[in-house]
Chains A and B, each alone.
Chain A
Amino acid sequence: MMDRTSDDTEDAADGGAIFWVGAAVGWVIIVVGIRMGLHDREFKPGLLAKWVAGGLLLHDLVWLPVVAVAGALAAVALRRRIPLVLAWAAATTIVMTLIAWPFVRGYGRRADNPSALSRNYAHGLLVYIAVTWLIGLVVFSIGRLRPARQES
């Protein structure tokens, strides 16, 4: 039998008063947002719906499977559970790269405005990644040394 996780059992909406009131209020706000947008001349509902749905599908059908497969492959390759602190360094590297990407690529740079996006973002990203892995390796090494000291 498969193990139960707390997520399977405890977490379903109970359908009580708080749930239904919250759901009603939430959907009223959602409809207000959609109506507000539709009353704006510059709102392009079809195009925007594609981007919002695209974000959702990108997460569910691309990002999540890629993360799951990458994690599984890494675990197989290392033949053991990946230390959390090194998984943290890898995840932080991905997050920092995602955030830095439009800056590194300089999509928004304009020749007539050198004060915008004026940093060397590729260099800055590499520094942050280096610091992240340094922190990760230091914490990992300290964790490895501790049991040895206790044994001696």
Chain B
Amino acid sequence: MVRPVDVVNRIGEGTQRRFTSKLHETRIAAVLGIALGVSFSVCFVTGLLSHLIQHPPSWFAWPPRPAGLYRITQGLHVTTGFMAIPLLLAKLWVVSPRLWTWPPVRNVAHAVERISLVPLVGGSVFMLFSGLANVARWYPYGFYFPSAHFAIAWVTIGGLVAHIAAKVTSTRDALRRSPPPGLVTASGVDRRVFLGGVAATTGLVALATSGGTIAPLSGISALAQRVPTAGPQGLPVNKSAAAARVHDIATGDDYRLVVDGAVTNPLSLSLEELRALPQSSAVLPITCVEGWSRGASWSGVAVRDLLAMAGAREGASVRVESIERGSRYRTSDLNVAVAHDRDTLLALDINGAPLHLDHGFPVRLIAPNRPGVMQTKWVIKVVVR
């Protein structure tokens, strides 16, 4: 009589036997694993940094200098995320026979190793898909992207740590030693061609997608999410005035900017009064969390000058509020260093012309080294704290 377990065993062994390519080998898996580990680590660190900047705990104060640092870290985050897609697909293909490893569990360590792959593989696929969808401004899911992307990043990195610990010995051995006789492995030429091919695909993906971050590549980055010069006044827009529903208040004659809170001389200034104040200029980038960035020349009233006028104390921090209602990003906080930086402006002009409504007319915040979602548009109030 045939026992069910024997049938299952035969299916398992038979499935494994069908993977005949010599490229399903440990040395190739090791090289791809290292590349993937590096790209995931870069993504995790830069993503964690972006999260801390946007949701700073009490011990964390992101400095305003160097002014273009966030532009680099977030560009790196999105570019390495794109580059990880071909690396992950190649790695999963190379190790695919192990999915049918038979018997599926050999001992306790093997069981822990395999169960740790669930958060790693599930998390990796989710992170790269949700990141790609976010850059394409596509939200087919019902959850809030930043919360989900952040939490699953930890789950994925946890899985990666467990996986590295499981594979560190075999990876080291695979890269150092020749395989024992009798093992089927790829020839050196095949291995180099395969890994060269993965590198070439990864390079093509980087070339096709990084033009939003690296402006000189914009002309050939046919899949980049933005053309850096496309948009009103030669600058892309992430949220339009129509989407924010601010048109009537922003363009109304009775607009006034209020400065209050911990001040001795609260202010209420019309647009004309703001223009009559001493004006400062700065060349700063708008850097979107989606990876694109674009520099522009901004001019307006320096926040530190406004704080001095209002009689704020020297170590004051600031909350800037927008006309926009019902948005998670209608306010943004400036820590002490940012609020008092010479280039932190309540901008009225961009490249010598009044702000377009989509860029935050009549007044927007622009400060160095900061995500675009924290460069609040359509500013109506400054609360000193």
Q: Cβ of A23: which chain B residues have Cβ within 8 Å of it?
A: 112-113, 116, 162, 165-166
CB of B174 within 8 A of CB of A10, answer: yes
CB of B148 within 8 A of CB of A48, answer: yes
CB of A103 within 8 A of CB of B109, answer: no
Is B329 in the interface zone, CB < 8 Å from A?
A: no
- Nearest to A55 among chain B residues (CB) is B125
- Pick the residue among B86, B151, B159, B223 that contacts A100 (CB under 8 A): B223
Assembly CA distance A56 to B153 (angstroms): 15
Q: Mark A1-23, 1 if CB is under 8 A from B, else 0.
A: 01111111111111110111111
CB of B154 within 8 A of CB of A36, answer: yes
A149 CB → nearest B CB, Å: 18
A30-47 CB contacts (< 8 Å) to partner B:
30-34, 36-37, 40, 42-44, 47
Say which one of B59-67, B194-202, B275-283, B314-322 lies at the interface with A.
B194-202
Assembly CA distance A113 to B98 (angstroms): 47
CB of B164 within 8 A of CB of A22, answer: yes
B100 CB → nearest A CB, Å: 10
Is A148 in the interface zone, CB < 8 Å from B?
A: no
CB of A95 within 8 A of CB of B158, answer: no
Say which one of B204-212, B255-263, B300-308, B373-381 lies at the interface with A.
B204-212
Assembly CA distance A48 to B154 (angstroms): 14
B199-244 CB contacts (< 8 Å) to partner A:
200-201, 204-205, 208-209, 222-227, 230-232, 236-240, 242-243
B78-94 CB contacts (< 8 Å) to partner A:
82, 85-86, 89, 92-93
CB of B150 within 8 A of CB of A15, answer: no
CB of B96 within 8 A of CB of A68, answer: yes
CB of A42 within 8 A of CB of B147, answer: yes
Is B184 in the interface zone, CB < 8 Å from A?
A: yes
Q: Cβ of A16: which chain B residues have Cβ within 8 Å of it?
A: 169
Is B341 in the interface zone, CB < 8 Å from A?
A: no
**Given A11-B170, A85-B197, A99-B82: A121 touches B240 (CB 8 Å cut-off):** no
Assembly CA distance A48 to B129 (angstroms): 13
CB of B144 within 8 A of CB of A42, answer: yes
Assembly CA distance A92 to B119 (angstroms): 27
Assembly CA distance A18 to B239 (angstroms): 48
CB of B170 within 8 A of CB of A10, answer: yes
- Pick the residue among B137, B240, B358 that contacts A108 (CB under 8 A): B137
Assembly CA distance A36 to B147 (angstroms): 9
CB of A95 within 8 A of CB of B193, answer: no
- Pick the residue among A6, A10, A103, A131 that contacts B223 (CB under 8 A): A103
CB of A18 within 8 A of CB of B201, answer: no
- Pick the residue among A5, A55, A119, A127 that contacts B184 (CB under 8 A): A5
B124-147 CB contacts (< 8 Å) to partner A:
125-126, 129-130, 132-133, 136-144, 147
Is A74 in the interface zone, CB < 8 Å from B?
A: no
Tell me what chain A mostly uses at the interface: helix, strand, loop, or mixed: helix
Assembly CA distance A13 to B105 (angstroms): 11
- Pick the residue among A30, A43, A127 that contacts B143 (CB under 8 A): A43
Q: Cβ of B153: which chain A residues have Cβ within 8 Å of it?
A: 33
CB of B108 within 8 A of CB of A96, answer: no
CB of A118 within 8 A of CB of B230, answer: yes
Q: Mark A49-60, 1 if CB is under 8 A from B, else 0.
A: 001110110111
Is B10 in the interface zone, CB < 8 Å from A?
A: no
- Pick the residue among A33, A88, A124 that contacts B152 (CB under 8 A): A33
Is A73 in the interface zone, CB < 8 Å from B?
A: no
CB of A6 within 8 A of CB of B185, answer: yes
B168 CB → nearest A CB, Å: 6
**Given A12-B106, A18-B168, A56-B118: A30 touches B141 (CB 8 Å cut-off):** no
CB of B151 within 8 A of CB of A7, answer: no
A90 CB → nearest B CB, Å: 11
Is B327 in the interface zone, CB < 8 Å from A?
A: no
CB of A5 within 8 A of CB of B185, answer: yes
B interface, CB within 8 angstroms of A: 13, 16-19, 22, 24-27, 29, 82, 85-86, 89, 92-93, 95-99, 101, 106-110, 112-113, 116, 118-119, 121-123, 125-126, 129-130, 132-133, 136-144, 147-148, 150-170, 173-174, 179, 182-185, 190, 193-194, 197, 200-201, 204-205, 208-209, 222-227, 230-232, 236-240, 242-243, 358
A-B contact pairs, 12 of them (CB 8 A): A5-B183, A10-B179, A11-B98, A12-B113, A19-B165, A21-B165, A33-B154, A37-B147, A52-B125, A64-B92, A68-B19, A135-B200
Q: Given A5-B97, A6-B185, A96-B205, 5 more contacts at CB 8 Å?
A: A8-B101, A44-B142, A47-B141, A107-B137, A119-B227
Shortest 7 CB-CB distances between A and B: which pairs?
Answer: A22-B165, A124-B222, A33-B154, A108-B137, A26-B162, A37-B151, A29-B158
